Amino acid sequence: MTDSNSMIDWFRASTTYINAHRNKIFVVLLSGEALADKNLPNIVFDLSLLNSLGVKLVLVHGARPQITEALEQTGIQSSYHRNLRITEAKCMETVKRVVGGLSVSLESLFSMGMRNSPMHGADIRVCRGNFVTAMPFGIHHGVDFHFTGKVRKIQASAIEQQLAHNNIVLLSNLGYSMTGEVFNLTAEEVATETAIALKADKLILLIPNDGVTDDDGNLLTSLNEEDAKFYAAKLGEKNDAESDCISQALYASLRAYANNVHRSHLISYKQNGALLQELFTREGNGSLISSDNFDQLRNATIGDVAGILSLIKPLEENGSLVERSRELLENEIENFKVIELEGSVIACAALYPITKEYGELACMVIDPCYQKSGYGDRLLSSLETVARENGLKKVFVLTTVATHWFLEKGFEEGELDDLPEHRQQLYNFQRKSKVLIKLL
Ligand SMILES: CC(C)(COP(=O)(O)OP(=O)(O)OC[C@H]1O[C@@H](n2cnc3c(N)ncnc32)[C@H](O)[C@@H]1OP(=O)(O)O)[C@@H](O)C(=O)NCCC(=O)NCCS
C-alpha cells in the first residue's frame, strides 16, 4: 500500500472521531515543563487543528520551572512545604512577570498565520481574563503559604460565552481574589476545577512520558478508577520528578472523574503528534482514565461507515469476511447495529431481511481488543430481538471461522438447500462457508 493510500485510509477512519469530538469541551493542561519542551510548536499546531475541527478548548498553562529559575536569578530561594511552593509577597512580582510572559508567548504561537506556516488561514482567537477566582491556601501545620492560593470559583458561564464564539480560552496558574490580590495556584488544580465547572467532555494532561506503564514498561492504554488509584499511589512513592508528575495527573483525573468528568487522557508532550494519535486513532497513544461502562449499543448511522470499515478491513484481508465497499455499506447501513465505546465503533453486525420469514445475520465483528467481553452476545441478542419484532421466524448466518460460537448461541448446522432460493444462488462455493440456522 502506498503512503498516500494509507493516509487516505487514516483520514477516512478519523471521521468517526472528528464527528465525536465536534462541539465537545476539552480542558488541556500544559505544564511549565511542556511549555519549555521543543515539541511545543507542534502541540500548538495540533491544538489549533482541534479548534478548527470545532473542539471547544480551554488551555491551562503552568510555570513552575520558569518561576523557580526567575526567582533564583533575582536571588530569592524558593521554599516548599510538602512539595507546594510557599509564595511570599516578595516573590509575587517575579511570579506575575513570568506567568504573564508565558501567556503572551503562547498567544503569539497561536497567532502564527504566516503564509509559509502550517497554520496559515487558521485564524485562531485566544482570549484571557479573570476567569479564576482564588483564595489563600492558608496556614497548614503552622506553615503560612502566603500568596500560594487555591481555586475558589471558576467563572464557567464567562468561559462558555467565549467557547460559544469558537475562541480558545487561555488560563494560567494565577487566580484573582475578591480583595483584588493575585494568588499563585497549581495549574493542575486550575485545569481540574475548570473541567469540573464546565462539565468538560475531556481533561487532557500533557506529561513527560507516553502514559502510565506497568512494571514491565508496557503502556496502559486504558485505566479504570481502581487502576488509576493504584498507580497514582505507587508512582507518588517513587520520589522522582517524572513519576511525581504522572501521579499528580492521575490524582487530577480521579478528582475530575469523581465530579462527572469521565474521560481524562494522559498524553506525552515530548512526542510529536501524540495528542492527535490519542484522539483520532483506535490504537491511541497515551493512557485514558475512564469508566468501563460507556459503551452504547445502537442502530448504525452513515457517520459509522468509516468506523465499520476499519473494523472489518483486517477480516476482509484475511478472507474471514466477504469484502464490502464503502458505497455498499452506505446503502445498507440501516441493517447494521454498532457498539460505540469512547466515541469509537468497537463492534458491528447486520441483519438483512431475505424473505418474510427468513433473515440473514452478517458482518458480525468485535474489535480484537474487546473480544470475550460479551459484546458479541449482546449484539446477537439485540439483532434477534429486531428479527422477532419484524416477524421473522428464523435467521441464518454463513461463517467460515465462528461456527462453534454460533452453535453455542443456539444455531444448528443446516444445508444450502435450507436457504431461500435466491440466496442459494449467491452462495460462494469457494469460501465453503457453513450454513447455520436458528429458529426464533
Ligand atoms: C466471533 C465473535 C463475534 C465473538 O464475539 P465476542 O464478543 O468475543 O464473544 P462473547 O464475548 O459474546 O463470547 C466469548 C466466548 O466465545 C468464544 N469464541 C470467540 N470466538 C470464537 C470462535 N470463532 N469460535 C468459537 N468460540 C469463540 C470465546 O472463546 C469465549 O468463550 P469463553 O467465555 O468460554 O472463553 C468475535 O470473536 C469476532 O468478531 N470474531 C471475528 C469475526 C468473526 O468471525 N465473525 C463471525 C462471522 S459473521
Kindly state if the Cβ of 407 falls inside 6 Å of ligand 1.
Answer: no
CA distance 428 to 190: 61
CA of 228 to the centre of ligand 1 (A): 29
Tell me which H or E stretch contains 414.
strand 412-414
CB proximity list for 391: less than 8 A, separation 6 or greater: 356, 357
Say which CATH number the domain at 425 has.
3.40.630.30
Same-domain check for residues 93 and 130: yes
Kindly state if the Cβ of 318 falls inside 6 Å of ligand 1.
Answer: no
- Domain final position from 249, 268, 290: 290
Kindly state if the Cβ of 405 falls inside 6 Å of ligand 1.
Answer: yes
CB proximity list for 23: less than 8 A, separation 6 or greater: 54, 55, 56
Same-domain check for residues 211 and 118: yes
CA distance 405 to 388: 21
What pLDDT shows up at residue 114? 57
Kindly state if the Cβ of 433 falls inside 6 Å of ligand 1.
Answer: no
CA distance 78 to 148: 12
Same-domain check for residues 96 and 135: yes
CB proximity list for 48: less than 8 A, separation 6 or greater: 110, 119, 122, 124
Helices (H), 28-82: 32-36, 40-52, 64-73
Kindly state if the Cβ of 404 falls inside 6 Å of ligand 1.
Answer: yes
Q: Which structural domain range is residue 311 located in?
A: 296-439
- Quick one: cell of 171? 488560563
Share of the chain above pLDDT 90, in %: 71
- Domain final position from 246, 263, 290: 290
Kindly state if the Cβ of 197 falls inside 6 Å of ligand 1.
Answer: no
CB proximity list for 333: less than 8 A, separation 6 or greater: 300, 301, 302, 304, 305
Look at the chain and report how many structural domains it folds into: 2
Same-domain check for residues 120 and 235: yes
Of 398, 301, 324, which is closest to residue 359 (Cα–Cα)? Answer: 398
CB proximity list for 226: less than 8 A, separation 6 or greater: none
Kindly state if the Cβ of 371 falls inside 6 Å of ligand 1.
Answer: yes
CA of 27 to the centre of ligand 1 (A): 38
CA of 407 to the centre of ligand 1 (A): 11
Burial of 136 (0-12, 13-18, 19+ CB in 10 A): middle
Pairing assessment for the beta strands 202-207 and 263-268 based on DSSP bridges: parallel
> Hey, which of 405, 407, 428 would you mutate to test ligand 1's pocket, going by the most ligand atoms within 8 Å of its Cβ?
405
User: What parts of the chain have a pLDDT lower than 50?
Assistant: 1, 293
What pLDDT shows up at residue 292? 54
Statement: the pTM of the whole predicted model exceeds 0.85: no
